[in-house]
Amino acid sequence: MALVCRHDIPIFVASINTPGEQQKFPIALLEALFSMVPREATIVGLYDVGCVLDRSLSMFDLLHAEYTSRLALATSVMHAYGHQWSCQLQYNPRLHAGLGLTDGEGTERLWSRLRELIGIERRSSAARRLWLLDRQLDSIAADLRSSLGTWQRHRLHTNVHKKEIEVSQIFSADKIPSNILQEQWRLQHKAQTSARAHAPARLKRQLSKVLQLQGEIEVVEASIASTKTAIRILPSSSHLALTIISTLEKTHNTLKAQAEELYLSLNLPEEFRDLKGVSLEFLQNLILARDLKIIIRRSAVGTFFEWDRLDEAVGGRDAAIGTKLHQITRNSISKRKPALLNNINKYNMYSRHSHKAYPSVRVKKYAFWEGMP
């Protein structure tokens, strides 16, 4: 494991002598770095699982408090997009103020420079391997330091001037002031990182049990209704039917009492004040609509990306994809459409039910236009 600066120059290297990449190695590298920088210096560390390391440092006394107060951790770009959105809001360097286009993949580029030693070191002793790595790392560091001026000039052109022009063109086309966009982003960040945006696991488990009981109650109610209908049609079976109805009503009352008790144990008015006084049916529609909204967005984004691929190939912005791959992409888009339509219709149905139960609540509806693939 290596610690490199943002110019990809290796600073420290740790020899991993245990199965797996344990947290003691990045912590040891950070301790060594802090011991050599000024006491007022702040450090930002980008690590493949920086979110996990940050949580460990906050929960346990693994690093001196003097160091953790001057340390900020983020996740390297290549791994960040595989994490949950709430994690990306906190640790993705592309969404982290002050990191710019730093990607945190310097160790990967260092590894690519060290790959040429793999064949040589297969027949070397352990001491010789460490010596070869040390010499190669020293040579890489010297080469990168000598080309820092070229590196900085290239980065200033591609990552500053070029990006500034692209951003200004986007702002000019959209005609939305940057202060409004920044305010909307701040509000989105605040809403999606709040405690209420992520229901506790206990609440989700208990709520699923409530919904399951509600389903059983509906089945019993349907059985009671069908039995009463049978009594009206066949009066001769009224005695047996009355016994069945009595049993079903007892079961219905028991299930209803269990559902109400479990629902009260959720303590929704305290944990989610916005849901105070809402019915179980409305809450059920709300949860189902939320899950469908996530599914719709994921499916729609996938469809848009596939169509972008076709459009770029046709417009000449990308390489031609060929007839076979073009047909595969078209078939993939066609397969997405029925499921996407079905989910949109379900979401709109839940939206109508929610609005009917609470007319003051405005629920956004989705529309599927015919021109869309």
In this predicted structure, what is the pLDDT of residue 314?
55
Quick one: pLDDT at residue 207? 65
Strand partners, 13: 2
pLDDT at position 370? 42
Residue 211, pLDDT score:
67
CA 87 to CA 48: how far, in whole Å? 13
Output the pLDDT for position 75: 92
pLDDT of residue 188: 85
Helix (H, G, I), strand (E, B) or coil at 175: coil
Please report the pLDDT score of residue 175 as a whole number: 81
- Which pLDDT belongs to residue 319? 53
**How far are the Cα atoms of 351, 354, 355, 365 from residue 359, in angstroms, in the given order?**
11, 8, 5, 14
For position 369, what pLDDT does the model report?
43
The pLDDT value recorded for residue 273 is 62
DSSP track, 36-102 = TS-TT--EEEEETTHHHHHHHHHHS--S-HHHHTTEEEEE-HHHHTTS-HHHHHHH-GGGSTT-TT-
pLDDT at 47: 93
| Tens of each residue's pLDDT in the chain, 373 residues | 899 998 999 999 998 888 878 899 999 999 999 999 999 999 999 999 999 999 999 999 899 989 999 999 999 988 888 888 888 888 999 888 888 888 889 999 999 999 888 888 888 898 999 999 999 999 999 999 999 999 888 888 777 888 888 888 888 887 888 888 889 888 888 877 765 555 555 566 666 676 677 778 878 888 888 877 777 776 665 667 777 778 888 888 888 887 777 766 666 655 566 666 666 667 767 777 777 787 888 777 777 776 666 666 555 455 555 566 666 767 777 777 788 888 888 888 888 877 777 666 565 555 544 444 4
CB count within 10 Å of CB 350 equals 21
What dihedral do alpha carbons 322, 327, 329, 335 form, nearest 10°? 180
Which tokens go with 159?
């990552």
**What global pTM score does this model have?**
0.58
Long-range contacts of the stretch 266-270 (C-beta < 8 A, 24+): 266/203, 266/206, 266/207, 266/210
CA-CA distance, 253 to 220, in Å (whole number)?
10
